Amino acid sequence: MSDAPPPHTTPNNPWGPRPRQGSGGLQGETVRVTSPDLRQRAALEKSRTRLVAVSAVFLILFFAVAARLSFATVIDPMKPAPRVVQQFTPEPPAAATAPPPGRASIIDANGQILAVSLPVASLYADPRQMIDTNAVAVELKKILPDVDEGDIARRLASAKAFVYIARRVTPAQEIAINNLGVPGLSFQLSSERRYPLGDTAAQVLGGVDIDANGIAGVEKYFNTRLNTDTTPLRLSIDVRVQAIVRDEVANAVKTFDAVGGCGIVEDANSGQILGMVSIPDYDANDLAQATDAERFNRCATGTYEPGSVFKLQTASMSLDDNVIHMWDYFNTTHPLPIGRFHITDFEPQHVWMQLGDIMKLSSNIGASRISLLVGKDRQRAWLQKLGLMSREPIQLPEAAMPQVQPASTWGKATLMTVSFGNGIAETPLHIANTAVAIVNGGTLYKPTLLAQNIGDPPIQGTTVMQTSTSDIMRKIMRYIVTSGTGEFGDVPGYFVGAKTGTAQKVSEHGGYKKHTNYSSFVAAFPIYAPRYVVYVAIDSGHATAETHGYTTGGWMAGPAVSHIIGRIGPMLNVMPRFDNVAEINQQLDFPHPYPAPPGAVVYGPNNPGEPDDPNAMDKPAHPTKRGGIARVAQDTKWTTPASTVKNLRHDAMYRVPAPASADATH
C-alpha cells in the first residue's frame, strides 16, 4: 500500500475534497492518520502526563513545606540549638567578670551610709593576642589620661598572658575601650570602698587596702565580719553630732593656730560614742595620700598628760574612800616643795582651801596635799579600777595604752604630780569615759562605737564609786562652771558641769616646753541628770587678744564645748530648761564654806593641823572604809624663796629627776 496522497488533494485537504451534503456520500472530509502523527501525539501525551505528575509532586512538597513551616513558626515555634546560635552570633565586646562577694556597708546610728563598696571595672590585657602593642598603648592613653603610655607599652611588650592596665575604669571609658575593637583587652569587675562623707569620722572608719581588707580603724577591727556578713554594720556615731564637733574643733584649732585638736561626745548612760573627731584629718577616699599627722587619731591613739581634768579622779577617790570630807581644809598658802622643785598654783590664793575651792580654782597644791593623804596604794588601785592603767576596750585597733609608771618607781613625787594630771599620760578617750562614771552615779561603761539595736538588752556597766560620791562631784563640777575656771563652757538652760585642764607639753629632749600647753575641757550636761559628756582638747594653741594671753583649757577649749552643747542638745532631744531654774540651782548648790556636821573632826590649820613631815603623809586623815587611822600633826615651817611665788603657772613647771631620792619614801 502506497503512502502517496491521492490525486486532487491539497495541503489543507490531503485526502481530497469532502463529499457535498445532499449527495449520498459521507458528510465531511475523510481523516487519514499517518505514523508520524501518531508518534507525535503519543509524545505529547507522555509529556503532559509527566508534567502533571511533576506538578503534583511539587504541589505536594509545597504544601508539606508550608505546613511544616507553619507548625514550626506559628503552632509550635522551635528554638535553634545553642551551638547553632553560637555559630551565628557575633562575639560580644569584652565584658567585666562577675564581682566578688560584697563587703558590708557601714552606717551611722541613723542609717546614714559611712562606707560602701561599689562595683568598679579593672582593665587587663593579654598581649599575646595583640598585633601592634605600641599602637594599643597610644590608644589607651587617649582614653585613660592617668596611665603612663610608656609604662603600658612596656607591660604589653611582655609575653605574659595577664597584664593589669588600670584598676579603676569608668563606664564611659569602658565603652570607649570596647569600641577600639582590640583583641586581648578585657575587664574584671571588682569593688571599690567609698566613703560618701569624705573626712567625716575618717580616723574612726580607717580604710581598706587594694584587696578590700581593713587596714585601720573600724574597717580593720571588724574586717572578718564585714567580709562575711553583708548586713550593714551600724555604729553609734551620729553624723550630725560628728559634723558639729568637727566644725567647732577645727575652728578652735584654726583660731588658736594650734598643732591639732580633738573632740568626743559620749552617752553618759551607755558609753556609746556619738562623735569622735581628730584634727587634722583627711578624706577617707584618699587614705594613701594622708599624712601621718592626719591619720593619727588623737582621741584614742594619742596619749597626753591630762592636766587638771585629772583632779576629778583625785577628788572622787578621796571622797569615795572617806579619806577627806567636804568640810576639811588644805594648806595652799605657799608652794609645796618636792625634791629640788616646787608645786605651784596658776592663781595662788595663799589660803587654806576646802575641796570645793580647790576644784573651782584648780589648785595643784591642794590636789597634791589630798594625794598625800590618799597614798600610793589607794591612788593606784583607783586608777586601775577606773581603767586608767589599761587600754580602753573600744573597737579601734589603734587604741593606745596609757603611759603609767610602774609601782616600783611610784614614789611621793609621782603620787603628788599624778593628783593634778602630770607624770601620767592618758588618751582623751580615757578622760571622757571616766568622766561618764563620775557624773552618772558611779557606773563605768566600756566605751563603744556600736549602736544599740531595738530589742538589745541594756548595756551593763560596773559600779566603781558610791552614788553619793557622784552626787557631790556633779555639784562640784557645776560650781566650777558657775564660779570657777569653767565659766566659758556654760550654756543657758543646760546647767553644764565641767572641769578644765592645762598641761605643759613634754619636750622631745626632756623637760617641758615653755609656753606650750595641752588645753582641755570636759563637761557633762545637764549636770542634774547627765545625758552626755563632751570633751575637747587643743594641742599647742597660741594666745590671742580674746584670750588675754592665756592658753589654759578654760580659754582654749571651753568655748568650743559650749558651742557643741548648744548645737547638739536640741537635735539629741535635750532641750534647755528655763523653768524651775531656782529649784534646779538649789539642788546643785552646796554651802561655801562647807559646814562640818556636829562632832566631826575638821582637818585644817588648827585641829588637827597640817603634818610636819610631808614624806610621811601616806596615811588617811580620817577613818576610812578600809580601816585607816586618823593622823594628827603640826604645821610645817616653810623656807620657800619669795621669787618662786611669782609667775606661778596652772601646772607645775618641772620634770622629776630620774634618780630623785625623794621618791624613795612614800
Show which residues are catalytic: 308
End-to-end CA distance of the chain: 170
Q: Beta-carbon neighbour count of residue 20 at 10 Å?
A: 9
Amino acid found at 317: M
CA distance 424 to 406: 11
Nearest to 113 by CA among 217, 232, 278: 232
Grid cell for residue 419: 593628783
Q: Which residues contact 514 (CB under 8 A, 6 or more apart)?
A: 504, 653
Give the three-state DSSP class for 137: helix
Q: How far, in Å, are 132, 153, 483, 596, 650 from residue 142 at the CA level?
A: 16, 13, 70, 86, 64
Angle subtended at Cα 558 by Cα 554 and Cα 559, rounded to the nearest 5 degrees: 130
Is-contact 431 313, C-beta < 8 A? no
Amino acid found at 489: G
Total residue length of the chain: 666
Q: What are phi and psi of 472, to 5 degrees?
A: -65, -40
Q: Which residues contact 345 (CB under 8 A, 6 or more apart)?
A: 332, 335, 361, 362, 363, 364, 365, 648, 650
CA distance 322 to 343: 25
Nearest to 482 by CA among 542, 519, 523, 451: 523
CA distance 472 to 480: 12
Is-contact 425 303, C-beta < 8 A? yes
